[in-house]
Each structure stands twice: as C-alpha cells, then as structure tokens.
Structure 1
Amino acid sequence: MPKNYKKATEPEDIPALFVEAWMKRDADMLASLFSEDAEFVNVVGLWWHNRYDIREAHAYGFEKIFSESDLVLRKTSVKNLSDDIAVVHARMRLKNQTAKGEVKTPSLRQNIFSFVVQKKEGHWICVSAHNTDIIPGAETNIIDEEGKFKSVNYRK
C-alpha cells in the first residue's frame, strides 16, 4: 500500500477521509486510515481484525456492492478521552447501493459510525470502527419463529 495518502491531523478528519476514499473506491486509501491491527465491525456484524482484511473487504464491496454508491458525511462528534485517544461518531447517508435479487432499487440508508482513533507519530489513525445502520422507527431487533430478522418498536 503506497504511503502517500492524506493523514488525519484531527480526529474528525477520519470520517471525512473515509468518505473521500469510499467515493474514490480506493480500498488502499481507506485501509491507510487504520492501524495494522485495527478492528472493524460492519452493519451485519462481520468483523475484521487487521488493516489487510479491512482493505480486502472494502475492495470486494467497492466492486460488487457499492460500485455506484454515494456516501455523504452528515454530522461528526468527537469525544476526547486523552490527548492522544478519541471516539469519533459520524452520521452518514448511503444511496445507490447495487441492486440484489428482488430489490431492483435499494433505498437510501443512514448509518452511524463509531471510530476509536489514536494519535501516533503526529497524526490520527483508526484502531477500531463499528458501523451501525439506522432503522427509522425501530428500537431493537428481533428474530421471529421462522428465523427471520426484523427491526421492531415496542412502543407501537
């Protein structure tokens, strides 16, 4: 992986650079935001344990699932835990995911990323990321008697 990618000078640069790499479909650039031993959990609970696997998963995604997608950063929040560790939450919007099966035009998705970032050698790098889809109107998930996964709201 080339070493000439932009480096995060502030914690909030990580989600902005993530979106930039996504829009370029550049798995190497995206992976450069992560430490060698970073952890990444995606929206369905797939869990990668190092930069190489994070890169490979996103390269596959850019080719098969998100080749025409549009990812937009909507809001960022930073909570500094120390001078060199922070938690960054980022709300994003995804559209134009690749169609699959009966779903000919996938709907807009919104998500929240949690990035744990650490300052190393003068720049910030992600050591852990977790991506969570926002399900409008839902409070939690449930699996029904047939084994089907559903998002539900107990207040309604």
Structure 2
Amino acid sequence: MIVHPEDFVPAFVAAWMARDGTALADLFVADADFVNVVGIWWEDGDAIAKAHSYALESFFARSRLVSGRVKIRVMGDVALIHARMRLSGQLAPDGTEAQARTTILSFVLHRDAECWHAVAAQNTDVVPGAETHLSTDGKLSPRDYRA
C-alpha cells in the first residue's frame, strides 16, 4: 500500500527486482494505462501484470533497475512523478548482456480514501546527444539538429 507518493518509485523498483509482475501491477488501478519504451500500450492491470511477468522472467530476468533523480508534483489527490531509472543486465536476443540504458518513467497517481495508486505510466528511453527521432524506411533513428 502506497501511503505517500514518495513511496511509489521504491515500491516499483522493489517489485521489478523481485521479478514480480503482479506486485508491480498491483501498484496501479485496475483500468490503468501503461505505455512502454516502444509504444506498446497496456490498458488494464491484468495486461500490465502479464507483460511485466513475461519480461521479468525472460529478457529482464537478470536485470537491475536503479532509480536516480525523482521529481514529484502533488496536486491535491493527484501526483505526477518523473523518475530517472538506470537499467542494466537486460538480455539481448542472442543471450548476451545488453549495455545499460537510462529511461525516464512518468507516473500519474491518484489518492483514494486509503492510499495512492498509479492510473498511468509512460516509459521513455533517454538517447544521449539526440533531440528527436527520424523515421526512414520504417526505422527510427535518433537525430540531433543542433549545430
């Protein structure tokens, strides 16, 4: 149970590190939305649990998620959280370990009579040295237009 918004990110990381997709989904309301780094959009807790359970038991089975900077903005019964995360230990399709990467997870939380739950999440990869993506022949590549 999340009593304070600042408890949310540590609980998310703990569920990830426990490889528990159900515990991770339990941080969300039943009809929550979660958009991952490649734009897959899960629209309820069951889908969030299923997707994360699969990932945490396979290509994220040896991963390590560490939170960095966290910014929380509370607006009455709603809180917006931005959390920089460092992910290492992801397995590549060939079974080798991929390089570490940084993401920013954004969460919208709502407080009910007892606690806070996430109603939405968005995960965005940080691409150093880029300011946008360019689509060419159906493939995205990071681009920087600055001189």
Q: In structure 2, what is the Cα distance between the partners aligned to 1:147 and 1:36?
A: 34
* RMSD of aligned residue pairs (Cα, Å): 1.2
List gaps (5 residues or longer) in structure 1. Answer: 1-6
Confirm or deny: 8 A CA contact 1:78 1:87 kept in the other structure. yes
Q: In structure 2, what is the Cα distance between the partners aligned to 1:105 and 1:59?
A: 19
Q: In structure 2, what is the Cα distance between the partners aligned to 1:136 and 1:81?
A: 31
Confirm or deny: 8 A CA contact 1:12 1:77 kept in the other structure. no
Answering whether residue 27 of structure 2 is matched by residue 33 of structure 1, we say yes
1:2-17 equivalences in 2 (<5 Å): 7-17=1-11
SS of alignment partner, residue 5 of structure 2? coil
List gaps (5 residues or longer) in structure 2. Answer: none
Answering whether residue 46 of structure 2 is matched by residue 52 of structure 1, we say yes
Answering whether residue 89 of structure 2 is matched by residue 96 of structure 1, we say yes
Confirm or deny: 8 A CA contact 1:40 1:129 kept in the other structure. yes
Q: Which AA in structure 1 matches 2:141?
A: K
Deviation at 1:148, TM superposition (A): 2.2
Q: In structure 1, what is the Cα distance between the partners aligned to 2:92 and 2:139?
A: 21
Deviation at 1:73, TM superposition (A): 0.7
Q: Which AA in structure 2 matches 1:125?
A: H
Deviation at 1:63, TM superposition (A): 1.6
Answering whether residue 91 of structure 2 is matched by residue 113 of structure 1, we say no
Fraction of identical pairs, as percent: 43
Deviation at 1:104, TM superposition (A): 3.3
Q: Which AA in structure 2 matches 1:128?
A: A
Question: CA offsets, 1:9-38, max 9 Å, x none?
Answer: 111211110100000001111111000000
Q: TM-score, normalized by length of structure 1?
A: 0.90
> Corresponding residue for 1:154?
145
